[in-house]
Structure 1
Amino acid sequence: MRLISIWLGLWVALVWLGECQQDKPNVIVILVDDLGYNDLGVQGSDDVKSPHIDKLARDGVILTDGYAPHSFCGPSRSGLFSGIWPFRIGAAFNAPKDYWDNRVGLPLEYKTIPETMQEAGYKTYCVGKWHLGHSPGHHPKNRGYNGFFGFLKGSWNYLRSQEYDPELDDYDYIYRGFDRVNDIEYITDNFTDAAIGYIAKAKRLEKPFFLYLSYNAPHAPLISLPSDRDPTVSPDRRSYVAMIKSLDRGVERIRGYLEKAGLTENTVIMFSSDNGGHKHGAINEPLRDIKGSYYEGGLRVPWYITWPGTLQSGQTFKKLATHLDIYPTLENLAGVPENRKNPDLVGVDLIPFFRKVGQSAPEASGPTHPFIAFGGPNPEGISRGMIRQGRWKAVIHSTEEPELYDLRSDIGETTNIADNRPVKMQRLLNEWTEWNSKNIRPVYNRTRAPNPLRLQLSVVGDQLVTMTGMPISFEAIGSSIQGEAVTYFWETFIPVRVDEAIFRDVWTDGVTSTSRTASSISITYPSPGDYIVRVNIQTERWLLWEDVQIQVVL
């Protein structure tokens, strides 16, 4: 009977997956970087010409009151992909480059959007900036993506395939999967190429796809193509505006390919920015302040959702929305059953609040959120942030008195009315304090913590050359200054697979060894060549590895 029940459950799950996949829309989330609130034509810009992004917006829903989860890059992306407030999971800072600390980045214990979409039958692809951690477990291909083309850190030179990191005496690379890419021309256009390639691959596989296209434009450094620069734009804005032109070209090409491939009406596109515009050229007017601030200019972002044939075009949505709503929205678009949904999510499905083709009114009415809140404690436990409830917004400082604004009449937050409305101010402050009580201090800092692991690797007999069929032995001594027990893992690979070895186990096919987890190992190579032997030690939090290169001859 138990076996019958197992088979019945498996059959039901497969039937659900097969039936639902037929009707599942493709999803493209385009996230640009540090875009000013005013820096698109549809947002009212005087000098930015963005006809294709403007058309994308007008073909669907313009969310006028949409917010990023945080006011700068890494925490904002942690919130989007976990569906949880960044400070609730301790992701308060941009993740430093750290291959050895499992805590640095989007916490590994939280399920991500691509993992959910994979389980729902989607092919999942990540293109562009990652910025959610460097350790092996944090790599995009280990967090739910079938394909990855991009870089791991927070910014990039648009014309380079690699960048030198003087702090670690190391290099950062553009990766395709786990492999380095060497043919970068202009990275915004390269990302568009990769995105179209992944869409074409999913079409060939006849699978619905989820594509996260994370352009790093117009984030600094401001590097643009001469052909994109408009001489009528002021010199201090010219390169920044040209970078937006390259984004607009990308949107044009992607929508053009969808049309050519017959995928337009079955593809949802979301376009937004990870936070407010930066000081390097961006204009956030009429909002106050810039990236990094809890005023509107740091958090409120352009946001458009288009689904031709399903969502009525020309909509303007003025209710509160946050990127935390993207995860639950995609769960429902993917047809995830209630008992399979991520229980940690705090957002709402936005689609019922939009008018669909042929409908006179949305399915859902009323507010999307009773309030939205931001911020949390620093490493010392001192908190600051903001809360918005309808037209009212309170800004909470760490040392100064809180401020109150009426965004309906004062979108630029020019007049603090806290003294005029003390009851409203106190209610919002109480609401935010209660909400913030569930947030936690950062689980990682702005800079790397010292790795407590110590490791020595040696070849028995100092033997760096061996013959095929002859075993060669290695010994390692690993320890932790914190007294933790360490676990050993061994790998051997050819030198060109060094990056692949960082991010996953690449034990060479055909090679035999006496042990994979002991502190010593013997390896027999069946074919000649140069090989790297790597020993990894790790605890629950920390990793460390050492390499030695050997030569195998006939």
Structure 2
Amino acid sequence: MSAPSRNPTEPRPVTEGPRAQDPVTQDPGGQDPGGQDPATQDPTAQDPTAQDPPPTALFDRRTRDAAAERPFRGSGRTARRPNIVFILADDLGWGDLGCFGSLHNRTPSLDALASQGLRFTHGYATSATCSPTRLGLYTGRYPGRLTAGLEEPLGTRDEHHGIPADHPTLPSLLVDVGYRTAMIGKWHCGWLPWFSPLKAGFQTFYGNLDGAVDYFGHFDTSGQPDLWDGEEPVTEQGYYTEIIGRHAAAYIREAGDDPFYLQVNFTGAHWPWEGPDDEELSRHIADEPADTHEESLRRLFHADGGSLAKYGEMVAALDASIGEVLAALDAKGLRENTIVVFASDNGGERWAFMWPFVGEKGDLEEGGIRVPLIVRWPAVIDAGQVSDLPNATFDWTATLLDAAGATPDADHPLDGTSLLGWLTGTQGAPQRDLLWRTREQGAVRRGHYKLLVDRHGHSVWHNLFGTDGRPSYRLFDLSADGREKADVADQRPGLVAELKAVWRSFDEELLPYPDASAWDASADGASSRGASTSGRSTPGQSTLGRSTPGRSTTGGQCPGLPD
């Protein structure tokens, strides 16, 4: 195994006492029969060969385990210059972990992580698709401030679509205050020779550049090898999830005395649908004829593959590799003052479990943006806690910079909000709006209300009520209706008017989407763009609440694929 290379309005207060209803325990009618959320399950009680329990038994287990979790309270403790390990899963659904009530998957490592820290039931991705969420995490800003963030997901390979080398990022700002930085795994924020992790502040990189790779062949959506040590192509045998886990654990074992930020980006559980024992299936996929980029993309998309059982194998492999990373922290004696954040880049797709939400990857309904989120920091956060505080991926950019003593760049003000004061108990829960924007949808969450915007009149709601292609606005009370079925806009016209104004201001502040007619899923996977837009956003502090973006014209999948 080669060593990685190194390069020199009406906000509702969020309470933390008795918690609002959480959809995980609601029945399809929206009633809450069990009270609190399911707690972390005992990993020792999970038998991978056991059959799924009947629904009544599952409910009994959920309510029984809920007693093990306590509503979050700030500890009052602080710690200096923590190590940071941010683990990002790919296309993992909100309900895909045992500690989030999974019916199908066994995830003892992540369940244990939740029991040792803080589990968020209202954690959100910055976007409904992968590359915009990653841009939001690394920059701490709305993805729509960069040209690359307008592609959902990123497919154009040119000098305009990526994170500019002079744009401050989470890793570059941490380097400025003495941190060592590394990324292991998936990048998907621009291509060489213009963009790479090493050009964005990471000192070490070992992984892939594209949005998807085969788990054994490590070839990308164009059929080309896509495994890199720094900016040099390499080869390594093995299942990619396990490779990422091994390299991340090795980085921790080799850590010196300086604090470090390690970004671990798994491709699990993204297509193709290959488990650890499916090398022969990988060879079969590689042998399929693919003379064009579109054909290469379609074979990797694996539309005829997968099953709940296969997806469970992929999630189990992801969980085991995360366990290897966490074990390396323990072996090094670093658990106490290391912040571990685990999240998914967006909602799940195809085989993922998003119940009780509707929507999936690419959608701004809850199933497309609400994700499993766990944070462990023993020096500051007491174990076994749960919170219903709404927060998004790029809030953790601000939080981690704050914890490390790093100052954001004044010319690129963060859109995320630091949660450090709330975590330590020195400040209350932040009161702000969360916002998302995609080419087709928009959303604003304020307290327990969510405004959902259909931008172009293509939904069944437009067809039913005849809005003639004009944007429509629906309002949902997530505390009673996590499935977003009961539109209460007529009951709260004042709130709808406020949130519409917030949404319109937000939409106007970001870069405009290129004209829809300019989008062309061409043979090389790039989209021709017509008039170009600047990759740099206008400096100046946002006047909006804080927020997030999302959805693709191809249903959240890669360019060139059918809806």
Q: Does TM, scored on the shorter chain, surpass 0.5?
A: yes
Q: Give the distance between the partners of 1:164 and 1:226, measured in 2 at CA.
A: 22
Q: CA deviation at 1:337?
A: 4.8
Q: Give the distance between the partners of 1:202 and 1:227, measured in 2 at CA.
A: 33
**C-alpha contact 2:164 2:200 (8 A) present in aligned 1:** no
Aligned length: 405
Q: Give the distance between the partners of 1:183 and 1:89, measured in 2 at CA.
A: 33
Partner residue, 1:546: none
Q: CA deviation at 1:324?
A: 1.3
Q: Trace 1:85-484 onto structure 2 (pairs within 5 A).
A: 85-90=142-147, 91-93=149-151, 94-96=153-155, 98=157, 101-163=158-220, 165=222, 171-203=224-256, 206-226=257-277, 236-279=307-350, 281-337=351-407, 343-354=412-423, 356=424, 362-366=425-429, 368-375=430-437, 378=439, 384-398=441-455, 399=457, 400=462, 401-442=472-513, 447-448=525-526
The secondary structure found in structure 1 opposite 2:490 is coil
The secondary structure found in structure 2 opposite 1:173 is coil
Q: Give the distance between the partners of 1:369 and 1:200, measured in 2 at CA.
A: 40
Deviations for 1:87-144, whole angstroms, at most 9, x for unmatched residues?
233412122252xx21112344531111111111111110111100003231111111
**C-alpha contact 1:136 1:142 (8 A) present in aligned 2:** no
Deviations for 1:470-514, whole angstroms, at most 9, x for unmatched residues?
xxxxxxxxxxxx9xxxxxxxxxxxxxxxxxxxxxxxxxxxxxxxx
Percent identical across equivalent pairs?
29
Q: Give the distance between the partners of 2:527 and 2:372, measured in 1 at CA.
A: 36
Letter in 2 for 1:96: G
Letter in 2 for 1:192: G
Would the alpha carbon gap of residues 113 and 198 (structure 1) be closer, same or farther in structure 2, given more than 3 Å must change?
A: same
Partner residue, 1:73: 130
Letter in 1 for 2:392: T
Letter in 1 for 2:211: G
Q: CA deviation at 1:441?
A: 1.6
Q: Give the distance between the partners of 1:272 and 1:189, measured in 2 at CA.
A: 18
Would the alpha carbon gap of residues 224 and 342 (structure 1) be closer, same or farther in structure 2, given more than 3 Å must change?
A: farther
Q: Give the distance between the partners of 1:135 and 1:182, measured in 2 at CA.
A: 18
Q: CA deviation at 1:276?
A: 0.2
Letter in 1 for 2:427: A
**C-alpha contact 1:34 1:276 (8 A) present in aligned 2:** yes
Q: CA deviation at 1:227?
A: 9.7
The secondary structure found in structure 2 opposite 1:264 is coil
Q: Give the distance between the partners of 2:142 and 2:177, measured in 1 at CA.
A: 24
Greater mean deviation of Cα atoms: 178-187 or 241-250:
178-187
**C-alpha contact 1:385 1:397 (8 A) present in aligned 2:** yes
Would the alpha carbon gap of residues 201 and 430 (structure 1) be closer, same or farther in structure 2, given more than 3 Å must change?
A: same
Q: Give the distance between the partners of 2:247 and 2:437, measured in 1 at CA.
A: 35
Q: Give the distance between the partners of 2:411 and 2:337, measured in 1 at CA.
A: 24
**C-alpha contact 1:97 1:153 (8 A) present in aligned 2:** no
Any gaps of 5 or more consecutive residues in structure 1?
1-21, 229-234, 357-361, 453-481, 483-554
**C-alpha contact 1:126 1:147 (8 A) present in aligned 2:** yes
**C-alpha contact 1:320 1:369 (8 A) present in aligned 2:** no
Q: Give the distance between the partners of 2:191 and 2:131, measured in 1 at CA.
A: 12
**C-alpha contact 1:89 1:440 (8 A) present in aligned 2:** yes
**C-alpha contact 2:155 2:527 (8 A) present in aligned 1:** no
Q: Give the TM-score of the pair, scaled to structure 2.
A: 0.68
Deviations for 1:265-289, whole angstroms, at most 9, x for unmatched residues?
121100000000012x111011111
**C-alpha contact 2:165 2:199 (8 A) present in aligned 1:** no
Higher strand share: 1
Q: Trace 1:40-59 onto structure 2 (pairs within 5 A).
A: 40-59=97-116
Deviations for 1:438-461, whole angstroms, at most 9, x for unmatched residues?
111247967536799xxxxxxxxx
Would the alpha carbon gap of residues 164 and 222 (structure 1) be closer, same or farther in structure 2, given more than 3 Å must change?
A: closer
The secondary structure found in structure 2 opposite 1:222 is coil
Partner residue, 1:490: none
The secondary structure found in structure 2 opposite 1:437 is helix
**C-alpha contact 1:137 1:143 (8 A) present in aligned 2:** no
Q: CA deviation at 1:189?
A: 0.5
Would the alpha carbon gap of residues 450 and 289 (structure 1) be closer, same or farther in structure 2, given more than 3 Å must change?
A: closer
Would the alpha carbon gap of residues 347 and 164 (structure 1) be closer, same or farther in structure 2, given more than 3 Å must change?
A: closer
Q: CA deviation at 1:61?
A: 1.1
Letter in 1 for 2:380: T
Q: Give the distance between the partners of 1:328 and 1:96, measured in 2 at CA.
A: 28
Q: Give the distance between the partners of 2:500 and 2:156, measured in 1 at CA.
A: 36
**C-alpha contact 1:161 1:184 (8 A) present in aligned 2:** no
Q: Give the distance between the partners of 1:451 and 1:350, measured in 2 at CA.
A: 38
Q: CA deviation at 1:56?
A: 0.6
Partner residue, 2:291: none
Q: Give the distance between the partners of 1:181 and 1:73, measured in 2 at CA.
A: 24
Q: CA deviation at 1:341?
A: 6.5
The secondary structure found in structure 2 opposite 1:172 is coil
Q: Give the distance between the partners of 1:337 and 1:77, measured in 2 at CA.
A: 20
